[in-house]
Chains A and B, each alone.
Chain A
Amino acid sequence: MAQAQPVRTTPQPDPGEAYLLPGETYTSISHTIGDVPLVALNKTPKGWFVGFTVSFILLMVFLVSVTWLFMKGVGIWGINIPVGWGMDIINFVWWIGIGHAGTLISAILLLLNQGWRNSINRFAEAMTLFAVACAGQYPILHLGRPWLFYWLFPYPNTLGMWPNFRSPLDWDVFAISTYASVSLVFWLVGLIPDFATLRDRSEHPLVKRIYGFVALGWRGSARHWHRYEMASLLLAGLSTPLVVSVHSIISLDFAVSQVPGWQVTVFPPYFVAGAVFAGFAMVLLLMIPVRHFYGFQSYITVRHLDVMAKVMLATGMIVVYGYFMEVWSSLYSGNIYEEYLLYNRLNGPSAIAYYGLLFCNAIAIQPLWFKRVRQNVPALMVISVIISIGMWLERYVIIVISLERDFLPSSWEKYMPTVWDWSLYLGTVGLFFTLIFVFIRVLPMINIFEMRMFQYQETVRLHLKAHPEHEESGHESLTSHSHGASAD
């Protein structure tokens, strides 16, 4: 490791501009990040135990909710006729939207060669997977007869039946399962070099064997790196359309129908933007405490937060544009059902959700125009929470308010979530955080080898900035040192 450590005099960057704070070396990176999963159980931070316990209790709430659901049926929730979808689908869309940030960071930013993504992509990808795991519960749990969920898959069967390929719900099956599997593979492939690092650094023989097993014999040879790079790029290429397709397809669940408030052509891009918006809010929501408690301020710098806040602002404004389009199309449609939808959002029994949504997603993000706010950690935390609530409300407005009052006034009915709606939601939050805490404990939450490379790149970049005359040789050394080191 020490063999390639470049010792150069480089100017110190402004702390608000740096993606990696100075003073980090390959070793320090491997140690700070790699030690978190490797420390002995009794040295695990107390805070971790507290967090894990709370999450685990919520996970038990999830199990209780699901058990009761399977015993009694979906009638334990507040759904009714006409509101056939309630918090089940709201939470489904909410969770799956959250997942999008991870894929965007790991795939699109990789293809766009955005080096700063290296310090957040592992965590964001893990969050994606766990959010998809939570989201994936709902399409099954919301079924009246969940034990027959496999009928949605096209498989050869004695019934001689295919699923109905015209139904957006069936498109969901493919979209989500593809998304979940590609994300998982991408994430696991990216972990292999780090598994090797952990294998090499761990002392306990059992732990060594486990990490060794999952490292799949990684030795850091040039051929390994070559193959890895190829796989990474291919997977990134595969993932990139998924960022757009998954939420587009989920938006089609609504857009294909003819319910006023669902049948909106702007939905696919608007949903994708909303998903990225919500996802970045959730990344911030998780990163800020993790960064604080594990002292990762050098890797996840204020600049990172700043950039993520910018993405949030941009996608948030797209979402606001979507709201505007919804209002406009309802006014311009000349269709009394669409016109009534707007009236109902503004004055109907659930109007408070619509006003809440406008506040959370349109007004509360406006301070992000200011750098001072973007680089203010507590402010970002608060705004991220507001956005997460706002995006939940957005789905409430779209799903519930539209269904509560559609075509026939005779059938209008209010939706009232029950305690079981909330407990299942809390339960999936428990599932999500349990997975997050386990992830924090057993896996490197920041990509070690990419950070090492990033450290090198940053050093070179800053050096070249200070010494433009080294351009030629510097470029060479940049390529030749492409991965810093294989392992300690």
Chain B
Amino acid sequence: MTSMNPDFEAIREQLRSTSGKQLWRSLDQLADAPAFRELVEREFPHGASEMDDPVTRRTFLKLMGASLALAGVTGCSYMPPKTLAPFVQMPLDRTPGIPNFYATAVTLNGYATGVLVRQNDGRPTKIEGNLLHPASLGSTDLFVQAEVLTLYDPDRSQSVLTGGVASTWADFTAALGTSLAAQSAGGGAGIRILTTTVTSPTLAAQLAEFGKLYPQARWYQYEPINRDNVYEGARLAFGKYVSTRYDFSKAKVVVSLDADFLAPGPGFVAYARAFADARKVMQTSEEMNRLYVVEATPSTTGATADHRLPLKASAVASFAEALRADLGGKTTELPEHAKVFLEHIIKDLEANRGTSLVIAGDQQPPAVHALAHAINAELGNVGTTVIYTEPVEARPTNQTSEIAALTDEINAGQVELLVIIGGNPAYDAPGDMGFAAAVKRVNLGVHLSQFVDETSQLTTWHIPAAHSLESWSDARAFDGTTSLIQPLIEPLYSGKTAHEVLAALLGQPDATAYALVRAYWQANNPAGGDFEIFWQNALASGVISGTAAPTATVTLKENLTIEVAPAPAAEAVELVFRPDPSLWDGSYANNGWLMELPRPLNKLVWDNAVLMSPSTADTLLGLGLGFAGGQNPLAVTDSQQRQINLEKITGVNGTVVTINHGGGTLELPLWLMPGHAEGSITVTLGYGRTAAGRVGDGVGVNVYPVRVSATPWFVSDGVKVLNANRNYPLVSTQDHWTMEGRDIYRAGIFKEFKLDPAYIRKEVYKEEFGTEEGVFESQVPGDNYTGRNAWGMSINLNACIGCNACVAACQAENNIPVVGKDQVGRGREMHWLRIDRYYAGNNLDNPVTYVMPVACMQCEKAPCELVCPVAATIHDYEGLNNMVYNRCVGTKYCSNNCPYKVRRFNFLQYTDIDTPSLALQRNPEVTVRNRGVMEKCSYCVQRISAARIAAKKAAVQAGEIEYKIPDKTIITACEAACPTHAIVFGDVNDLGSDVAKLKAEPHNYGFIGMLNTKPRTTYLARVRNLNEELEAAEAAG
């Protein structure tokens, strides 16, 4: 092209300074440019004169053609131009078709999780944990898994905007320069920077430098899910902000005071791992930890607990106070139903001084944290199970008061230039502040964001943010360990990092994040010595060693008295706000994987609901479910009547509820949560977005407007709940609560288990067959796969916490489409791996909750294979039940005959094959399924194949014929993500393998075994470490 027309170079040069997207938005502007006019005239000589006319259809079409042609000149930035040339000399680290892994980090609320990102031919496609990183230990949470979809989100902002019109970085920096120049005289008194939680050392240094340059400017931090309570609690107890870390490996008794530590948050993976490791009981186990949970909203932590006390969130403080008082030999008043529980916890804690742990939830007020500190100190846990460190955050602070101060300053007219880096405060600031109204008043408001969100719409400038997989940066983990963040791909939409915006504020608009981060670490090389070696090591390993936060020496204040707000009256309704398990604070609202991920325990998708216990719903809304007067409609002798009552109860889900509260009114559909504290109702944050994108817009109800800054997490004053007498169709992937007495989830008690590890199985068989030994073992001789790899999986139900990380990982690895609320409502969700939830017992106020990951069992005698008329699902020689997509004609017979119902069918064209950016995300090793074919879990057969190829190659190179795939070479996506290592995959025939050892345990079982399907996936029964005295007391009470 260049040889044809040398003028193109000049035009290209001119256009390169702008973005491809911008061409379309400002054609008029460009049309006036002589170079552009010349170009168009040459291309369309007849139409050139028309361009000055008002738009006619002809001109429109032609301009569109021209703009498309030009978009090709500058638009494509998926790869640096250099690599577009074929590999005449192949780079050392690149083999086409072979993925590379790079270490980087992904943050949630500023806290880093170290990850290894798989890059297939230049595209990041999957995120795995980084074994070396303390917050990952090789695993991840669900948010990390979903980041890769956000990267390719077609709704991401693609250009600098001012007043909603496309602009350029250059224009922005020019406008910024003018404003800064005006401010410099007053020392930057009119400048405010609002960031999310900052742990990045480079960013902190930049902010400090900015502070020096503009001493009157202020830097605030705000995120709706923050650690205000943690820090204020520390200050209450110790007089200063410190970070608290827990060591679950040493804790025999754990008491959670509304702390959902088995759900995403700082340190989640590490905590879950250590906690679960102490619970994976085998036949030789002598010990097992015990977890008590006191909480209002049923959580995955509560479901894992050995004993759980449903208690209003506002009463937890009193409980904590009583706990501390009784440990000190005093007694206080306490709600009657919690007394028994407390009494036995105290006994247990006292018996385990130094090896116990009391944790206060991030949502509990500072007093509860202070009480927990005091209790841990009293029990001698500090230094063993509780570790205090210097704060990890660059500037720990009370974020709620910071945003309040900022709003006040804006309203007072003191703010001329407001730079918002990340976050979405116009959406998620507490409702009583009016931040959204205030931000419009700022002269020059700048928002750096990946999406043109609610805040971007109100600021004068919007800068597209680079995704963390496109950025250079750094971040710290929960224990302070710092990681470098390196890009896996050039920014797709010329996004900018926070570092670059800060550099622009410092007068270096052209500085790159790479240069800035590198410069920071050059100046602050913790290792000393050669910087290049340090730099390469840090990038390769994903951690900078020696950066963990130092232990803080803290002493509890003398004669510490902690004022506790009195527990509210029993009849007062309490409204609890919780982070959404999938959307978090709303920042993941446009992520389809997360939106469609069934929320733990309630299994809702695509909506938020008001959660409450059945009896509370009955009382508050007058539903007539039969709970009146303390009755239990499930405690009836007639099993049919019980069933009918149960179906009546679940039938009220979706009733619209009006919640009146000082802050405003909410209308949300009801979803019953057995085990929710009485008189308490819960709503989750993150929904009702108006500018999230095609997935998140208009989904659910935004509860931020009624969330006030004084009581951000729960409020008991003046909450009124009314039945709006309407229905709203909520969609959940599992409506049924009970197991119907079937042999699906096996559970037992640790004390019995120690006596006879096989007792759970014997009990089940005795009930089902009248004998302790199973009578259904196959009489048919089958292939035993000797001499071959026989792939199998073991899932430890004692370690599974139902966190959903595996489901998200499976979706990311296996190109599983998102189908939308309507299709899920029709029972057509596509997840290959799902987490089933069952409630046990008749006590809906506090049922035992079971969660169970279920994917294809890879039955050796698979019912699906027999019935497929075209042999599209067949066994391979290693015992895998394979699905041959290309052969499938879609009779769905296999699914009908599958007792585990793990097969998923492409009823429609679910995979979005039209959106180019989404195509980039897909795993090239996994077939993209189109409509009309069945699919299911394959044990990540692509990973098995890769390992087999590698093993064969190695064998051939060693001159051998036999090849062997060593144990742990193949790690399935779910196994890799699992924070607790509950899922173990391997070769069952290799008796030394982990999976074979686990399957030899006496409490190993395959469910619905009576069908003789011989599943390759088996489960280890759950073992609960009950406090028998408490159990007896509760049964008596």
Which of B895, B900, B934 is in CB contact (< 8 Å) with A407?
B900
- Could you list 20 further interchain pairs (A-B, Cβ under 8 angstroms) beyond the known A84-B893, A169-B869, A343-B640? A73-B909, A80-B826, A82-B896, A85-B896, A143-B891, A143-B932, A144-B891, A144-B934, A145-B889, A167-B893, A169-B891, A256-B867, A258-B899, A336-B741, A336-B742, A407-B1011, A408-B744, A409-B838, A410-B836, A416-B826
Q: Mark B882-922, 1 if CB is under 8 A from A, else 0.
A: 00000111111101110111011111110000000000000
Assembled-state Cα–Cα distance A81/B891 (Å): 13
Which of B734, B768, B868, B932 is in CB contact (< 8 Å) with A73?
B932
B890 x A144 contact (CB < 8 A): yes
Chain A residues closer than 8 Å to B644, beta-carbon distance: 347
Q: Mark A372-412, 1 if CB is under 8 A from B, else 0.
A: 00000000000000000000000000000001001111111
**Nearest Cβ in chain B — how far from A192, in angstroms?**
37
Which of A143, A169, A408, A416 is in CB contact (< 8 Å) with B867?
A169
A173 x B869 contact (CB < 8 A): yes
A161 x B896 contact (CB < 8 A): no
Known: A75-B823, A79-B907. A409 touches B742 (CB 8 A): yes
- Judge whether A368 is part of the interface by a CB distance below 8 angstroms: no
Assembled-state Cα–Cα distance A152/B889 (Å): 9
Which of B643, B744, B889, B931 is in CB contact (< 8 Å) with A347?
B643
Interface residues of A in 412-448 (CB under 8 A from B): 412-414, 416
Chain A residues closer than 8 Å to B1008, beta-carbon distance: 407-408
Which of B640, B868, B903, B1010 is in CB contact (< 8 Å) with A167?
B868
B869 x A152 contact (CB < 8 A): yes
B836 x A408 contact (CB < 8 A): yes
A410 x B734 contact (CB < 8 A): yes
- Judge whether A365 is part of the interface by a CB distance below 8 angstroms: no
Chain B residues closer than 8 Å to A148, beta-carbon distance: 889
Query: 10 interchain pairs (CB within 8 A)?
Result: A75-B908, A80-B907, A81-B828, A82-B827, A85-B893, A85-B896, A161-B870, A169-B868, A169-B891, A406-B899
Known: A80-B826, A151-B887, A409-B740. A145 touches B895 (CB 8 A): no
Chain B interface size range: 35 or more
B890 x A411 contact (CB < 8 A): no
**Nearest Cβ in chain A — how far from B505, in angstroms?**
52
- Judge whether A78 is part of the interface by a CB distance below 8 angstroms: yes
A258 x B1011 contact (CB < 8 A): yes
Please list the residues of chain A having a beta carbon within 8 angstroms of any beta carbon in chain B.
72-76, 78-85, 142-146, 148-149, 151-152, 161-164, 166-170, 173, 253, 256-259, 335-337, 340, 343, 347, 403, 406-414, 416
**Nearest Cβ in chain B — how far from A310, in angstroms?**
37
B888 x A145 contact (CB < 8 A): yes
Q: Mark B844-887, 1 if CB is under 8 A from A, else 0.
A: 00000000001000000001001111110000000000000001
Which of A75, A170, A403 is in CB contact (< 8 Å) with B896?
A403
Known: A83-B827, A347-B643. A164 touches B744 (CB 8 A): no
Chain A residues closer than 8 Å to B871, beta-carbon distance: 161-164
B900 x A81 contact (CB < 8 A): no
Chain A residues closer than 8 Å to B934, beta-carbon distance: 144
Assembled-state Cα–Cα distance A81/B895 (Å): 7
Chain A residues closer than 8 Å to B826, beta-carbon distance: 78, 80, 416
**Nearest Cβ in chain A — how far from B818, in angstroms?**
15
A163 x B870 contact (CB < 8 A): yes
**Nearest Cβ in chain B — how far from A261, in angstroms?**
11
Assembled-state Cα–Cα distance A166/B888 (Å): 16
Which of A151, A169, A408 is in CB contact (< 8 Å) with B893?
A169
Assembled-state Cα–Cα distance A148/B893 (Å): 16
- Judge whether B565 is part of the interface by a CB distance below 8 angstroms: no
- Judge whether B739 is part of the interface by a CB distance below 8 angstroms: yes
A81 x B868 contact (CB < 8 A): no
Chain B residues closer than 8 Å to A256, beta-carbon distance: 866-867
Known: A163-B871, A410-B854. A81 touches B889 (CB 8 A): no
A407 x B869 contact (CB < 8 A): no
With both beta carbons as reference points, the residue of chain A lying nearest to B890 in the complex is identified as A144
With both beta carbons as reference points, the residue of chain A lying nearest to B824 in the complex is identified as A80
**Nearest Cβ in chain A — how far from B969, in angstroms?**
32
B897 x A259 contact (CB < 8 A): yes
Chain B residues closer than 8 Å to A413, beta-carbon distance: 827
A166 x B836 contact (CB < 8 A): no
With both beta carbons as reference points, the residue of chain B lying nearest to A399 in the complex is identified as B896
B889 x A143 contact (CB < 8 A): yes
Main secondary structure of the interface of A (DSSP, over half): loop
A257 x B863 contact (CB < 8 A): yes
Which of A76, A144, A407, A410 is in CB contact (< 8 Å) with B933?
A144
Chain B residues closer than 8 Å to A257, beta-carbon distance: 863, 867, 893, 896-897
Chain B residues closer than 8 Å to A336, beta-carbon distance: 740-742, 768
**Most chain B CB neighbours (cut-off 10 Å) among A144, A167, A403:** A144
A73 x B908 contact (CB < 8 A): yes
Q: How many pairs of residues, A versus B, come closer than 8 Å at their CB atoms?
A: 169
Interface residues of B in 805-831 (CB under 8 A from A): 823, 826-828
Known: A144-B890, A149-B889, A408-B900. A167 touches B736 (CB 8 A): no
Chain B residues closer than 8 Å to A337, beta-carbon distance: 742
Chain A residues closer than 8 Å to B307, beta-carbon distance: none
A81 x B932 contact (CB < 8 A): no
Assembled-state Cα–Cα distance A409/B890 (Å): 25
Chain A residues closer than 8 Å to B768, beta-carbon distance: 336
A144 x B889 contact (CB < 8 A): yes
Assembled-state Cα–Cα distance A145/B744 (Å): 34
Assembled-state Cα–Cα distance A149/B896 (Å): 19
A80 x B828 contact (CB < 8 A): yes
Assembled-state Cα–Cα distance A410/B869 (Å): 28
Assembled-state Cα–Cα distance A387/B520 (Å): 84
Which of A85, A146, A164, A408 is in CB contact (< 8 Å) with B869?
A164
A84 x B889 contact (CB < 8 A): no
With both beta carbons as reference points, the residue of chain B lying nearest to A412 in the complex is identified as B736
- Judge whether B735 is part of the interface by a CB distance below 8 angstroms: yes
Chain A residues closer than 8 Å to B744, beta-carbon distance: 408-409
With both beta carbons as reference points, the residue of chain B lying nearest to A140 in the complex is identified as B889
Known: A75-B908, A259-B897. A84 touches B742 (CB 8 A): no
With both beta carbons as reference points, the residue of chain B lying nearest to A80 in the complex is identified as B827
B907 x A73 contact (CB < 8 A): yes
With both beta carbons as reference points, the residue of chain A lying nearest to B834 in the complex is identified as A410
A408 x B901 contact (CB < 8 A): yes
**Most chain B CB neighbours (cut-off 10 Å) among A83, A149, A173, A258:** A258
**Nearest Cβ in chain B — how far from A161, in angstroms?**
7
Chain B residues closer than 8 Å to A79, beta-carbon distance: 892, 907
A145 x B932 contact (CB < 8 A): yes
Chain B residues closer than 8 Å to A161, beta-carbon distance: 870-871, 887
Assembled-state Cα–Cα distance A76/B738 (Å): 31
**Most chain A CB neighbours (cut-off 10 Å) among B854, B863, B893:** B893
Chain B residues closer than 8 Å to A411, beta-carbon distance: 734, 900-901
**Nearest Cβ in chain A — how far from B779, in angstroms?**
17
Assembled-state Cα–Cα distance A146/B933 (Å): 11
Known: A151-B887, A258-B899. A85 touches B892 (CB 8 A): yes
With both beta carbons as reference points, the residue of chain B lying nearest to A167 in the complex is identified as B869
Assembled-state Cα–Cα distance A72/B826 (Å): 16
Chain B residues closer than 8 Å to A340, beta-carbon distance: 740
**Nearest Cβ in chain A — how far from B1009, in angstroms?**
12
**Nearest Cβ in chain B — how far from A378, in angstroms?**
41
The 3 closest A-B pairs by CB, nearest first: A144-B890, A144-B932, A75-B907
A84 x B895 contact (CB < 8 A): yes
A144 x B906 contact (CB < 8 A): yes
With both beta carbons as reference points, the residue of chain A lying nearest to B867 in the complex is identified as A167
Chain A residues closer than 8 Å to B746, beta-carbon distance: none
Assembled-state Cα–Cα distance A168/B893 (Å): 10
Which of B838, B891, B909 is in CB contact (< 8 Å) with A142?
B891
A408 x B889 contact (CB < 8 A): no
- Judge whether B837 is part of the interface by a CB distance below 8 angstroms: yes
Interface residues of B in 51-85 (CB under 8 A from A): none
A82 x B738 contact (CB < 8 A): no
Chain B residues closer than 8 Å to A169, beta-carbon distance: 867-869, 891, 893
B828 x A163 contact (CB < 8 A): no
